[in-house]
A = this chain, B = another copy of it.
Amino acid sequence: MGTFALKDPDSIGVAFLGVGRIGRTHIQTLAGIGNARIVVVADPDLAAAERGRDIARAGRATSDPLEAIGDPDVEVVVITTPTSTHASLIEAALRAGKAIWSEKPIALDLAETDRVVTLWREARLPVQLGFMRRFDPGYVRAKELIEAGELGRIEQFRATSRDTYPPSVDFIQNSGGSFLDMCVHDFDLARFLVGEIEEVSAWGDVLADERFREGGDIDTAVTMLRFRNGALGVVEMSRHSAWGYDIRTEVAGALGKVVVEAPHKTQLTFSRRFGFEGDHYESFPDRFEVAYRLELEAFFRTLAEGGTPAPGPDEALETLRVSLAAKRSWLEGRPIRLDDVTADVPA
């Protein structure tokens, strides 16, 4: 990976940026990773930075992320700040010659993402984006079976994602909308498991929560995918679910199919009144708890081994293009070919 070299693969100096909700999860995970040593925790809210420092028994806290990036003892920057800051912080870290792990997305528009990808290609530094599902053991196993040819030629892809709690109005308006904020995970899995996408056709509507309409967004959608290899796919999305976090993915081929689905959260079945009951996961923190740990472990292990972490900015860019195509398809009421996604959809 370019000229990047670690001083001590067993003790990698880390700057941790952003101690919000997901940040607190990540910093705790990081504290348990053997070869990651958190040098500095940064958050514009210094108290938050200090809480992060204490959780992780890190060296120091600062309110200035750029100062943290610049710390000479820092070799890796971990970014879990709000989406709107990702691109500029990644750029700053790249310019400072640091390796980067960042929450997705790089940015919500194509131009900004393109610029980061270009800089990354020049810098030749290790960068990994937070598509955690790729590290969930179920999806990892699915990928293995597909690559081993156990499914034969892939013919169909199907994903359903329903989130339990609709986000706030504020979040809706800054998220790029449901295709970019939520379907993006399924589009990324589609690419990860089946391959590149050629064309999409999306329908969406507001069926449950009028706040989405006010935010120019939808709460329910279905998107058809046509893959370059000929396979057909479909992605269902809902922003609310009365029965819990509902994430299911299926890949079907000539020889077999795999279904990744987690019906039970707790491994207990309760039978009464002529029936049985079990519980579903509540949301992404419990469903993907293991994946959040494994994606960070993989990043630091790959760094230590001198490998190239993935998924990198190029993957994030391609997945963004699918999201943008789906959004445009919904807005324009017609299928969109990925080849035509060369500029951003006007807001």
Does A20 make an interface contact (CB < 8 A)?
no
Q: Which of A204-239 contact B (CB under 8 A)?
A: 204-205, 207-208, 220-222, 224, 226, 230-234, 236, 238
Nearest CB to that of A231 among chain B residues?
B207
Enumerate A272-299 residues with CB–CB distance to B below 8 Å. Answer: 272-280, 282
Which of B32, B150, B244, B270 meets A28, CB within 8 Å?
B32
Chain B: CB-nearest residue to A259: B269
With contact pairs A222-B232, A236-B234 given, residues A275 and B280 touching in the complex (Cβ less than 8 Å): yes
In the complex, the answer to whether A141 meets B243 with C-beta atoms within 8 Å is no
Number of copies: 4
Question: Which residue of B232, B236, B242 is within 8 Å of A256 (Cβ)?
Answer: B242
- Given contact pairs A28-B32, A256-B272, A275-B278, enumerate 18 new A-B contacts (beta carbons under 8 Å): A137-B266, A137-B268, A138-B266, A156-B220, A156-B222, A156-B236, A207-B230, A222-B224, A222-B232, A238-B252, A243-B274, A244-B275, A257-B271, A259-B269, A260-B267, A263-B276, A274-B279, A275-B277
Residues of B within 8 A of A203 (CB): 201, 224, 226, 232
Q: How far is the CA of A260 from the CA of B246 in the complex (A)?
A: 16
Query: Residue A255 at the B interface, CB < 8 A?
Result: yes
- The interface of chain A, by Cβ under 8 A from chain B, is 28, 31-32, 34, 55, 136-138, 141-142, 145, 150, 152-153, 155-156, 158, 160, 162, 164, 201, 203-205, 207-208, 220-222, 224, 226, 230-234, 236, 238, 240-244, 246, 252, 254-263, 265-280, 282, 333-335
Residue pair A276, B277 in contact (C-beta under 8 Å): yes
Q: Are B226 and A267 in contact (CB under 8 A)?
A: no
Instruction: Pick the residue among B156, B243, B334 that contacts A257 (CB under 8 A).
Output: B243
Instruction: Judge whether A276 and B243 touch: CB under 8 Å.
Output: yes
Question: Could you write out 8 A-B pairs with CB less than 8 Å apart?
Answer: A141-B268, A158-B236, A204-B232, A207-B231, A220-B232, A244-B274, A275-B277, A334-B334
Question: Across the interface, do B138 and A267 meet the contact criterion of CB distance under 8 Å?
Answer: yes
Check A255/B267 contact, CB under 8 A, given A224-B203, A230-B207, A282-B274. Answer: no
Per the bound structure, the CA–CA distance linking A243 and B271 in Å amounts to 6
Which residue of the partner chain, among B136, B162, B252, contacts A252 with CB atoms under 8 Å? B162
In the assembled complex, which residues on chain B have CB atoms less than 8 Å from the CB atom of A268? Answer: 137-138, 141-142, 258-260
Bound Cα distance A292, B262 (Å): 22
CB distance from A43 to the nearest CB of B (A): 18
Closest to A31 in B: B32
Q: Which residues of B contact A226 (CB under 8 A)?
A: 203
Closest 6 CB pairs of A and B: A256-B272, A243-B271, A32-B32, A138-B267, A138-B268, A262-B267
Bound complex: CA of A28 vs CA of B333, how far in Å?
Answer: 51
The answer to whether A205 and B220 have CB atoms under 8 Å apart is no
Q: Specify which chain B residues have a CB less than 8 angstroms from the CB of A28 in the assembled complex.
A: 32, 34
**B residues in contact with A265, CB < 8 Å:** 137
Task: Report A236 CB to chain B, min CB distance, Å.
Answer: 6
Contact in complex: B55, A145 (CB < 8 Å): no
| Most B-side CB within 10 Å, residue of A152, A201, A208 | A201
Instruction: Report B-chain residues with C-beta under 8 Å of the C-beta of A263.
Output: 276
| Alpha-carbon distance between A233 and B220 when the two chains are bound, in angstroms | 10
